Amino acid sequence: MILSALLTSVGINLGLCFLFFTLYSILRKQPSNVTVYGPRLVKDGKSQLSNQFNLERLLPTAGWVKRALDPTDEQILSNLGLDALVFIRVFVFSIRVFSFASVVGIFILLPVNYMGTEFEEFFDLPNKSMDSFSISNVNDGSNKLWIHFCAIYIFTAVVCSLLYYEHKYISLKRIAHLYLSKPEPQEFTVLVSGVPLVSGNSISETVESFFREYHSSTYLSHVVVHRTDKLKVLMNDAEKLYKKLTRVKSGSISRQKSKRDGFLGMFGKKVDVVDHYEKKLEKLEDDMRLKQSLLVGEEVPAAFVSFRTRHGAAIASNIQQGIDPTQWLTETAPDPQDVHWPFFTASFVRRWMSNVVVFVAFVTLLILYIFPVVLVQGLANLHQLETWFPFLKSILNMEIVSQVITGYLPSLIFQLFLFIVPPIMLLLSSMQGFISHSQIEKSACIKLLIFTVWNSFFANVLSGSVFYRVNVFLEPKTIPRVLAAAVPAQASFFISYVVTSGWTGLSSEILRLVPLLWSFTTRIFCKEDDKEFEVPSTPFCQEIPRILFFGLLGTTYFFLSPLILPFLLVYYCLGYVIYRNQLLNVYAAKYETGGKFWPIVHSSTIFSLILMHIIAIGLFGLKKLPLASSLTIPLPILTFLFSIYCQRRFLPNFKSYPTECLVNKDKADARDQNMSEFYSKLVVAYRDPALSASQYSRDI
Amino acid sequence: MILSALLTSVGINLGLCFLFFTLYSILRKQPSNVTVYGPRLVKDGKSQLSNQFNLERLLPTAGWVKRALDPTDEQILSNLGLDALVFIRVFVFSIRVFSFASVVGIFILLPVNYMGTEFEEFFDLPNKSMDSFSISNVNDGSNKLWIHFCAIYIFTAVVCSLLYYEHKYISLKRIAHLYLSKPEPQEFTVLVSGVPLVSGNSISETVESFFREYHSSTYLSHVVVHRTDKLKVLMNDAEKLYKKLTRVKSGSISRQKSKRDGFLGMFGKKVDVVDHYEKKLEKLEDDMRLKQSLLVGEEVPAAFVSFRTRHGAAIASNIQQGIDPTQWLTETAPDPQDVHWPFFTASFVRRWMSNVVVFVAFVTLLILYIFPVVLVQGLANLHQLETWFPFLKSILNMEIVSQVITGYLPSLIFQLFLFIVPPIMLLLSSMQGFISHSQIEKSACIKLLIFTVWNSFFANVLSGSVFYRVNVFLEPKTIPRVLAAAVPAQASFFISYVVTSGWTGLSSEILRLVPLLWSFTTRIFCKEDDKEFEVPSTPFCQEIPRILFFGLLGTTYFFLSPLILPFLLVYYCLGYVIYRNQLLNVYAAKYETGGKFWPIVHSSTIFSLILMHIIAIGLFGLKKLPLASSLTIPLPILTFLFSIYCQRRFLPNFKSYPTECLVNKDKADARDQNMSEFYSKLVVAYRDPALSASQYSRDI
């Protein structure tokens, strides 16, 4: 790739970005789009858009950028929660890292690379190959490579110190968040699983007597979990029916007053629709009541146990309770909205086994992911299609159609397969027996990150068969050499990847094209009132791996091909503005994980650094500078030690709160008048929603 | 090696064993040896040997065997403690494993191996090579190998189920031990390190206010640790001087009434000895008092904090206390006798750094251990000696001398180097910043085990340079093939190793030759009363790695060369009897680790099994039975999963006691009358012995 080609691509994407931003700044001011661009504001009742028409509504303005940048970290923490703050801080951290990297890369490494071999053609810039800017332009054994060597050491030191600072900042914010927040049920509650079955006692009695005995001073109440999966099916049916009924009654579906009650409404005798639905609903509710009364007996050996103090809950969750470590397992309870109810049917052994199965499935998917893609792409083969569907022959023989099919279909299929990866990861994680949606998301986020790095980075770099790739990692000694030979060659590909996928991805994120079109269509075709809309939940699980992957690209190419750095810096700056805007206006967190995404960022950064070091070790070897290669070896070891130190120093704070905070907060609560009210709410907070189902038929 | 040679070696060692046992059974009955063969009994006042002479004293009897086998597990637990029980159970477990292995090996695998290729020479047993009994005798691709394949699966299943059973048994015994024992200071106490320095407050005040604030209901008292290393030097001097003085006074060293007070007692004016020593002692004690008063200021930011209940201590030790995870670090306090005082000068970072340094030192020692040995062995080279010490020339030229030097000196030096390994491991572990001797011993035990496996097993099997060995492990794919080729070849060496090192080691353990000779010499040359003797502490740290190493040999050679199994079985049976005897009569535990050596046994057994599987995978490959090779691959994975399951299922119980036990025991204590007395003892239990030094001069 030559420089001018890159610049063309940058220009096109820059144009697209500006177009999207302009569209956004106009569209967001239209009152009809308020549920697309400001659902969070609408929900909070903060939307100030008037229906009055004025000229300013049609002009693109940049006021939203200012508004997005306005709130301080403290305001974000108190309004949007800790997870949003962590998400923003990831961008801040990345901007800092790549600002430094860009300065070093552009002003020191790039000139060194460019003057590596050829002096004469200094001024023919546009036709230069991208290789002229990368380390491959430097002669073998040249002493200029020592500049790269120093840059690697300095860059690592800077990243590590920034990481340390950020880790400290976020862990302090986590404590601050606890002090700021109101009492939450999850702080006072512990999930107990593996309750032993005592003959003659119900599970509820066993739990009660155990905690009355061993936590007599702090025990408040408990809620035993029930097996409610069948009930939930009935509930969903009832809810749908109820919605339909209200619609029929209000007249929004008034086309047919009566329908046949047979198959698909086509056979049988005619009945009145309202009557028909009401009867059906009543029957369903009878079923539900029956199930509910039956379910009181169907207890699962797990319970949410609530305590009078946070410290009491921490004591129960941190210390092994029963003599048998597989019984009376305790863990911090999730947010009541965050509970993943289906988990509770699993026992200790089954939960553990499903963990193993999911792990195996994930590794298999990771390694063999390419096969189904290739298989389906094979179906897009022209000859194959012709033999299978002979009637398509005439169409397929057309020049344009065949070009589209052979050119775009395979990459389209690949993209489609990439789209289904996040749901698959979520599905895998949800099978692992996590008790909360946030844990599932966190686990899916890690899986997705590994998947992205493996199938986007290593698949592109180590082009060749899957087995070749796996094989490389089975021979640890050859890794540096293989990577050092393969990674620099892909520099131009990844630069254009940052520009196309990164930049355009961000601008389509802010435009929210799919929700926009959806809202537009529903407004035209449905006459329903559009007050019923859901605030989308923040897509941490999908976005964090992508952001971290760009960080990995930047870190590994920092000394190989520093031209990538300014593009990345632009990406992070754009992302910072856009995601602040989206978090303030669009998304709302359904639950709070307490900043638990940060450790993933930490590990990913450390991994990127070590990967860079390994490539450097191999590259200095290939460039015939064995001394530099040997002198780089301590770097990954030191980085790894730094990582362990950080984990010891900060990670405990991400797992649970220290006694100091809990007791202080408990003491502050004790002076609070509203605590008795909170306790009465706490007692019922963890009732299974299925068991406290509202009675729809009464509302009609 | 042919069978008859092996039998000769077995015969010689069997003879030696019988000789040692006979000697033991006679010598132990002599009253003068009571401090050698029954120091524990003497200490407890249970020794029943009369000085009266009778004939039975000179006859070898086997009554001691019966007495050693008599006590039940419950009696051992209550009299000797949990560690002793665990030590005995290791033998029980090994006997069970190798009984089964011997039956399968001798009656199924051995005949299969023997009839592998040659039928004709069936009856010429004594001249058979040992190879005829090993798997190498079976033809390549023979279906008989499937018998070995099945044996491996069955053996693994049996070992795993026995391991599970034993793990369960010991973890229940651990709980039983807590319920049986009297209140111990360590159960009520927590060691707090990383106390933050608050300006204007002493460390003692900071600790007091922190625990009064956050553990108001259970906090009892605390003892701040002081820097006492210099004081300890003075104390040791004073103690030595005091002993000398009492000896001079009592007249046991009465040869000189006066001595010169100059250099080495040879110059200067003559002084009265008693006077001289008394003055010196007084001066030392003045120094000590001065130091003690100074030390009150020299506080270390660490303290032993005692609580009113066990549960209170568990709460403090299990939950992070301060906001900064590097401050207010808590851990369960060790036994007061078990505290390793020198550790306390180290801070969090220094402790962590020294851990890293020790790890690096250990790995270096592990890999490069062979170099110093080879170097020193080089000095034992004849020519070298002749050039260095020309006057030895005539002696070295003698046939016998040269044979001894070239033949025995190198192996002698190697053995000497092996002797210094345990102290080196103890030294390394003591530098790691452990707070108790028992932790140091446990860590040294693990190090010694790794060292033994690496330098005795892999060094013998992968004969070749050190770098070759390290290289093998850097290419994971080649490991099975290399091991499968190398391990079977060493079968006969390891069989004779079991017989010589194992059997004779055990019988010399029971004879206690060194203490016997020592006691004999001191009785002849010193006229001191022999009431002053120390009960030796149980050498868990040295013995457990050796026992486990034999287990590793047995497991890996189980299907390769089953001839080793009966010899191992004999070793374990002998060891069972002998160590029961030694634990009952000789050793006394200085401190109780609470069975924490068992997890090492577990990990080592799992490692042995997986090593066996890896060898099997390689061997089936070499024997051209690739299907068996592939079908063995799930086995190490399953074993590993089993190990993880066990660790989750049982390990928590080895780390701390569950709430259930603690609260029950606390409630039982609350009904006890003696608790106030115990509390007053608890308050002073963790005073540094250096600060409460007794005043020797007053006793004189």
pLDDT, tens digit, 9 for 90 and up, residues A247-272: 676 665 544 555 555 455 455 555 66
Count of other CB atoms within 10 angstroms of residue B109: 27
Q: What is the DSSP string of A343-365?
A: GGG--HHHHHHHHHHHHHHHHHH
Touching A: B residues 212-231, CB under 8 Å: 213-215
Higher pLDDT, A487 or A89: A89
Pull the structure tokens for residue B282: 């007084």
Q: Do the Cβ atoms of B645 and A323 come within 8 Å?
A: no
Chain A, nearest residue to B356 by Cα:
A641
CB of B318 less than 8 A from some CB of A: yes
Residue scoring higher pLDDT (A341 or B357): B357
- Amino acid B144: pLDDT: 86
Tell me the backbone φ, ψ of residue A258, rounded to 5 degrees: -135, 155
What sign for the dihedral angle of Cα B60, B65, B68, B70? negative
Higher pLDDT, A630 or A493: A630
d(CA B459, CA B468): 10
DSSP A216: T
Mutate which of A211, A214, A656 to test chain B, going by most B C-beta atoms within 10 A? Answer: A214
Mean of the pLDDT values across residues A113-125?
A: 64
Most confident segment among A490-494, A550-554, B594-598, B653-657: A550-554
Residues of B in Cβ contact (< 8 Å) with A645: 352
What is the distance in angstroms between the Cα of B335 and the nearest Cα belonging to chain A? 21
Candidates B172, B214, B637, B662: best to mutate against A (most CBs of A within 10 A) is: B214
- Where residue A700 falls among pLDDT bands split at 50, 70, 90? very low
Measured in angstroms, the CA of B321 and the nearest CA of chain A are apart by 5
Rank A114-123, B484-493, B538-547 by mean pLDDT and report only the highest. B538-547
- Is-above-0.95 flag for pTM? no
The answer to whether B658 contacts A325, with C-beta atoms less than 8 Å apart, is yes
What DSSP character marks residue B142?
-
pLDDT bin (cut points 50, 70, 90) of residue A638 is very high
Weakest-pLDDT range from A324-333, A356-365, A517-526, B456-465: B456-465
- CA-CA distance, B149 to B320, in Å (whole number)? 50
User: Which pLDDT value is given to residue B556?
Assistant: 92
pLDDT at B646 over 80: yes
Cα A312 to chain centroid, rounded: 33
CB B56 within 8 A of CB B47: no
3-class secondary-structure state, position A159: helix
Q: Is B526 left (phi over 0), alpha (psi -120 to 50) or beta?
A: beta
φ, ψ at B225 (rounded to 5°): -85, 140
CA distances from A564 to A18, A103, A487, B146, B646 (A): 21, 12, 13, 58, 49
Contact present, A162 and A97 (Cβ < 8 Å):
yes
State whether residue B475 sits within 8 Å of chain A by CB.
Answer: yes
Compute the distance between CA of residue B420 and CA of residue A134 in angstroms, rounded to an integer. 55
Q: How many CB atoms lie within 10 A of CB A570?
A: 20
What does the pLDDT read at residue A615?
92
Instruction: Give the closest of A214, A328, A652 to B325, CB-based.
Output: A652
What local confidence, expressed as pLDDT, does residue A120 receive? 46
Q: Phi and psi for A603 in degrees, rounded to 5? A: -60, -40
Position A617 scores a pLDDT of 92
3-state secondary structure labels for all residues of A609-658: HHHHHHHHHHHHHHCCCHHHHHHHCHHHHHHHHHHHHHHHHHHHHHHCCC
pLDDT for B635 beyond 90: yes
Which amino acid is present at A135? I
Lowest mean pLDDT among A440-449, B277-286, B304-313: B277-286
The overall average pLDDT reported for chain A is: 81
> Which of B173, B319, B481 has the most A C-beta neighbours within 10 Å, making it the best mutation to test the interface with A?
B319
Q: Is residue B700's pLDDT more than 60?
A: no
Cβ–Cβ contact A411 with B under 8 A: no
Helix (H) or strand (E) segment spanning residue A280: helix A273-295
More confident residue, A88 or B373: A88
Place of tokens 């403690």: B81
Q: Does B683 touch chain A (CB under 8 A)?
A: no
Residue B231, φ and ψ in degrees, nearest 5: -60, -40
Nearest-angstrom CA–CA distance, B331 and B36: 38
Higher pLDDT, B602 or A349: B602
Residues facing residue B191 across a β-bridge = B304, B331
Mean pLDDT of all residues in B469-484: 79
Could you tell me how far CA B72 lies from the centroid of its own chain?
A: 24
Mean pLDDT, rounded, of chain B: 81
Higher pLDDT, B270 or A67: A67
**A407-414 contacts at long range (C-beta below 8 A, 24 or more positions apart):** A409/A377, A409/A380, A410/A377, A410/A380, A413/A373, A413/A376, A413/A377, A413/A380, A414/A373, A414/A377
Using DSSP bridges, classify how beta strands B219-226 and B299-307 pair: parallel, antiparallel or unpaired: antiparallel
Given this model, what pLDDT does residue A465 score?
62
Q: Which residues of B touch A319 (CB under 8 A)?
A: 314-315, 318, 656, 658-659
Highest mean pLDDT of the ranges A552-561, B52-61, B140-149, B490-499: A552-561
Distance CA B364, CA A528 (A): 75
What interface predicted TM-score (ipTM) does this complex get?
0.76
- Give percent of chain A above pLDDT 90: 18
The rounded distance, in Å, linking the Cα atoms of B643 and A565 is 46
Token pair 């190798």: residue: B98
Distance CA B136, CA B489 (A): 9
Q: What is the mean pLDDT of residues A674-699?
A: 73
Return the exposure string of B417-426: e unless at least 16 CB atoms fall within 10 Å of the residue's CB, then b.
beeebbebbb
Confidence bin at A450 (pLDDT 50/70/90) = very high
Interchain pair B325, A475: CB under 8 A: no
The Cα–Cα gap between B410 and B374 comes to 9
Chain A, nearest residue to B657 by Cα:
A320
Sign of CA dihedral A568, A571, A575, A576: positive
- pLDDT score at B120: 46
- DSSP state string for B96-131: HHHHHHHHHIIIIIHHHHHTSS--TTTT-GGG-BGG
Check A660 against B326: CB less than 8 A apart: no
Which of A130, A128, A134 minimizes the C-alpha distance to A116?
A: A134
The answer to whether the Cα torsion of B508, B510, B515, B516 is positive or negative is negative
- pLDDT at position A62 is 78
pLDDT in tens, A509-519: 888 888 888 88
**Predicted pLDDT of residue A651:** 86
Q: What is the DSSP string of B307-331?
A: ESSHHHHHHHHHS--SSSTTSSEEE
Distance, in Å, from the CA atom of B163 to the CA atom of B161, rounded to the nearest integer, reads 5
User: What is the C-alpha separation between B309 and B298, in angstroms, rounded?
Assistant: 30
Inter-chain CB proximity B318 and A319 less than 8 Å = yes
Phi first, then psi, for residue A312 (nearest 5°) are: -60, -45
Q: How confident is the model at residue A297 (pLDDT cuts 50, 70, 90)?
A: low
Subunit contact B653:A326, Cβ cutoff 8 A: no
Share of chain B above pLDDT 70, in %: 83
Q: Taking CB atoms and an 8 Å limit, are A653 and B320 in contact across chains? A: yes
Kindly state the average pLDDT of the residues B507-524.
82
Average of per-residue pLDDT across A311-325: 87
Q: Tens of pLDDT along B145-204?
A: 899 999 999 999 999 999 999 999 998 888 888 888 888 888 899 988 888 888 888 888
CB < 8 Å to B213, chain A: 663
- B673 forms beta bridges with none
Q: Residue B258's pLDDT band (boundaries 50, 70, 90)?
A: low
| Alpha carbon of A311: minimum distance to chain B alpha carbons (Å) | 10
Please indicate whether, in this complex, the C-beta atoms of B319 and A650 are within 8 angstroms of each other. no
Q: How far is A549 from chain B (nearest CA, A)?
A: 29
pLDDT at A133 over 90: no
Q: Which residues contact B222 (CB under 8 A, 6 or more apart)?
A: B192, B204, B207, B208, B211, B303, B304, B305, B306
* Residue-level pLDDT at B675: 84
CB spacing of B661 vs A323 below 8 angstroms: yes
Q: What is the mean pLDDT of residues B459-469?
A: 69
Residue B449 has pLDDT above 50, yes or no: yes
Q: What angle do CA A92, A93, A97 make, to 5 degrees?
A: 115
A356 interface with B at CB cutoff 8 Å: yes
Chain B nearest-CA residue for A315: B315
Between B693 and A324, where is the model more confident? A324
What was the pLDDT predicted at B408? 61
Mean pLDDT throughout A439-444?
90
Pairwise CA distance, residues A170 & A176, whole Å:
9
With tokens 């991208």, the residue in question is A130
What's residue A158's pLDDT?
Answer: 95
Confidence of residue A131 (pLDDT cuts 50, 70, 90): confident
